[in-house]
Chains A and B, each alone.
Chain A
Amino acid sequence: MQRQSLVSVSMLFGLCMLAAVGQAQARLTIEVTGGVEGAQPIAIVPFGDVDGARPGVDVANVISADLTRSGRFRAMARREMLALPHRQEDVDFREWQLLGMNNLLIGEVRPAEGGGYDLSWRLFDVFSGDQLAARSLSSTERGLRHAAHRIADQVYEILTGERGVFATRLAYVTSRDRSVDSRVILRVSDSDGYNPQTIVDSAEPILSPAWSPDGRRLAYVSFENRQPSIYIQELATGRRQRVASYEGINGSPAFSPDGRRLAMTLSKDGSPDVYLMDLASGNLTQLTDHYAIDTEPAWSPDGRHLVFTSDRGGRPQIYRVAASGGPAERLTYEGEYNAAASYSPDGQYLVMVTRVGGRFRIALTDAQGGSRRLLSNGALDESPSFAPNGSMVIYASENNGRGVLSVTPIAGGAGQRLSQEVGEVREPAWSPFPR
């Protein structure tokens, strides 16, 4: 038995974060894929800059891009607008009716006392002339894009009944290409690809980023120094902790919904099994014990169960086990390869990788593993996870032989493709809602 220390093996400061500041903007760009029939027409008028405000961000433009990217809305082009009102009394609803708009958003930006800005906005139903909402929020200069995303989230929720995810973030792994000498970088960006931040940059593989429930930390697997280890890194400070570095695999980290435990795969005792680590004490509990492969644990939203992949039946399938331990129950029977399952935020569904006719595709099932429905059509699709509002799934796929990320809505409709101008992107993980 190897002697390994558990927690506080090392406390390092992520110098790479400083390096990221001067780095060129290698950001994700997003294109809408598939049909956008039925997208609702909305006019988002440029916000008025009042009292000498000179914001560095075109807030209305960010909101327009967010809503358009969802595929649910079609934002009117500015050059087609006949007037640019930012006060309620200047709005002529007949004009917007003639332009075929359903909704109208206007707003103002003014300097806040003590720096930053106050943003106020109003949303109207163009046909009735009713005001659907009138709200305000404040923002720093640096936080303007985030403030715009938050406005987009609220508009989206008012008009669709579903919480928006524009103010969330994405973690992903990127590299120049698939060659062995290509550096591997773990990044976090806004959901629209802006503000990419390097979390860690390595010559060795990095995989399986997982968000803490408060969105402040990422757990990930890194092979630095040719030793696979699980790290937990605080995003704001770059401070990180190596929590697992045993002989064999140290993989598949997954925070429990209360943030107190980390599920992981270790093979220190022979075969890959699922373990739970209490993060305060570093104590490990072995959750599965089988000579076959057990890996890819994912928590149910209530924290009572975990699903995981096991080939104990000969081929990889999805199993479920109580977080308190006990026997595992097989959930999937359809197909020869089902892996990497995770729950929808409401616990009703599972999304996973499934092999169909030699192709690896993303599938949705109910939480019992039944009623499989295919969500993707690629050959090597993997790493699926839900958006925090449960309406979309993000996964890694390929486009023209290059690794890209894809987003597909569960209910059908327009999807998104997220790619870098140069290089591969993979291993997406959608952050929880901001707190």
Chain B
Amino acid sequence: MSIRWQLSLSVLVLALTGCATPPPPPPAAPSADELDAMGSRPAPGIEATRERSPLDDPASPLYRKVVYFEYDAARIQPQYAGLLRAHADYIYNTPGVEVTLEGHSDERGTREYNLALGDRRSDAVKRFLMAEGVPEKRIRTLSYGEERPADPGRTERAWSENRRVELVY
């Protein structure tokens, strides 16, 4: 277990034990955009009364939900193993949570081949999560191929941002 993961865990434990009384069920978890809109300083009265999902906590390893791939490849690169294990643990340990793995490619090459490539990438992540114990029925895969670029630019950097699988909860 990485030091970062341990730190995040202890932050999480502190946050949980810091709540004197169980918070009322939140109406809905704020989206990433809403969280960004709040700025880095938590709005008073919200943080104190509501437990934030680790998925939305920048300090949690679960905050990162994208893994990137090499060109025309669907192999999971070693640097993403920790991130994916954290998500596997979270899904495994959190009843009712399901994940959609959205596979994407860069724009180079044909659209249908890229759709297949995105499918291979989301399938690779699915297999990784299943190897970590996540039941298949809690995973859905969806390939967008090159149709949904994260960065519509035409640079190597944009392309590398687009070769990805997003974990969508």
Q: Is B67 an interface residue (CB 8 A)?
A: no
Task: Give the interface residue-count category, chain B.
Answer: 20 to 34
Asked if B86 is at the interface of the complex by the 8 Å CB criterion, the answer is: no
Contacts of A270 in B (CB 8 A): 123
- Docked Cα-Cα span, A340 to B109, in Å, equals 9
B108 within 8 A of A: yes
Q: Is the CB of B113 within 8 A of A207?
A: no
The CA of A340 and the CA of B142, in the complex, are separated in Å by 22
When the two chains form their complex, are residues B111 and A248 in contact, meaning their CB atoms are under 8 A apart?
A: no
Assembly CA distance A6 to B96 (angstroms): 29
Complex-state Cα separation, A337 to B111, whole angstroms: 13
Beta-carbon contact of B110 and A223 below 8 Å = no
Contact with B along A83-103 (1 / 0, CB 8 A): 000000000000000000000
Tell me what chain B mostly uses at the interface: helix, strand, loop, or mixed.
mixed
**Known contacts A247-B141, A272-B116, A339 near B109 by CB under 8 Å:** yes
Chain B residues positioned under 8 Å from A178 (CB to CB)? 149, 152
Do A226 and B142 touch across chains, with their CB atoms under 8 A apart? Answer: yes
Taking a contact as CB atoms under 8 Å apart, the answer to whether A383 and B72 are in contact is no
A207 touches B111 (CB 8 A): yes
| Band of interface residues on A | 35 or more
User: Would B111 and A208 count as touching, CB distance under 8 A?
Assistant: yes
Contact of B116 with A205 in the complex, beta carbons under 8 Å: no
List A contacts of B123 (CB < 8 A).
Answer: 248, 267, 270-271
**B148 contact set on A, CB distance < 8 A:** 180, 205
Q: Is the CB of A383 within 8 A of B111?
A: yes
Residues of B within 8 A of A401 (CB): 154
Q: Determine whether B166 belongs to the interface, using a CB cutoff of 8 Å to chain A.
A: no
Would A207 and B108 count as touching, CB distance under 8 A?
no
Report the Cα distance A427→B114, complex, angstroms. Answer: 14
Interface residues in A219-233 by Cβ distance below 8 A to B read 223, 226-228
Are A251 and B115 in contact (CB-based, < 8 A)? yes
B84: Cβ under 8 A from any A Cβ? no
Pick from A248, A380, A427: contact of B143, CB below 8 A: A248
A205 and B120 in contact, given A228-B142, A360-B108 (Cβ under 8 angstroms): no
Closest A residue to B150 by beta carbon equals A180
Instruction: Say which residue of B72, B109, B143, B145 sits within 8 Å of A360 (CB atoms).
Output: B109
Q: Which of B5-39 contact A (CB under 8 A)?
A: none
The yes or no answer to B144 lying at the interface (CB within 8 A) is yes
The residues of A that contact B140 with a CB separation of less than 8 Å are 247
A426 to chain B, nearest CB (A): 8
Are B107 and A207 in touch, CB under 8 angstroms? no
Bound form: Cα–Cα A228–B111 in Å: 14
Chain B residues lying within 8 Å of A380, measured Cβ to Cβ, are: 107-108
Q: Closest residue to B137 on the A side, CB-wise? A: A2
Contact of A205 among B72, B108, B141, B147 (CB under 8 A): B147
| B110/A383 in contact, CB under 8 A | yes
Residue A252 at the chain B interface, CB threshold 8 Å: yes
What A residues does B154 contact at CB under 8 A? 401
Bits for B118-157, please: 1 = Cβ < 8 Å to A, else 0: 0110010000000000000000111111011100101000
Q: Which residues of B contact A228 (CB under 8 A)?
A: 115, 142-143
Shortest CB-to-CB span from B19 to chain A, Å, is 35
Is A48 part of the contact surface with B, judged by Cβ < 8 Å? no
In the complex where A293-B113, A383-B111 touch, is A248 in contact with B72 (Cβ < 8 A)?
no
Residue of B with least CB distance to A291: B120
Whether A249 and B113, one on each chain, are in contact in the complex, defined by CB atoms closer than 8 angstroms, is no
Q: Is the CB of B120 within 8 A of A271?
A: yes
**Residues B30-66 near A (CB distance < 8 A):** none
In angstroms, Cα B111 to Cα A316, docked, is: 13
A205-B148, A228-B142 given; A272·B119 CB < 8 A: yes
**Residues of chain B within 8 A of A227, CB atoms compared:** 142
Q: Known contacts being A205-B147, A251-B116, is A309 close to B141, with CB within 8 Å?
A: no
27 contacts between A and B (CB under 8 A): A178-B149, A208-B111, A223-B147, A247-B141, A248-B119, A248-B123, A248-B141, A249-B119, A265-B112, A267-B119, A267-B123, A272-B116, A272-B119, A293-B116, A296-B110, A309-B112, A309-B113, A311-B72, A315-B72, A339-B110, A340-B110, A340-B112, A340-B113, A353-B109, A360-B108, A360-B109, A383-B110
Q: Which 5 A-B pairs have the closest CB atoms?
A: A205-B147, A272-B116, A340-B110, A293-B116, A339-B110
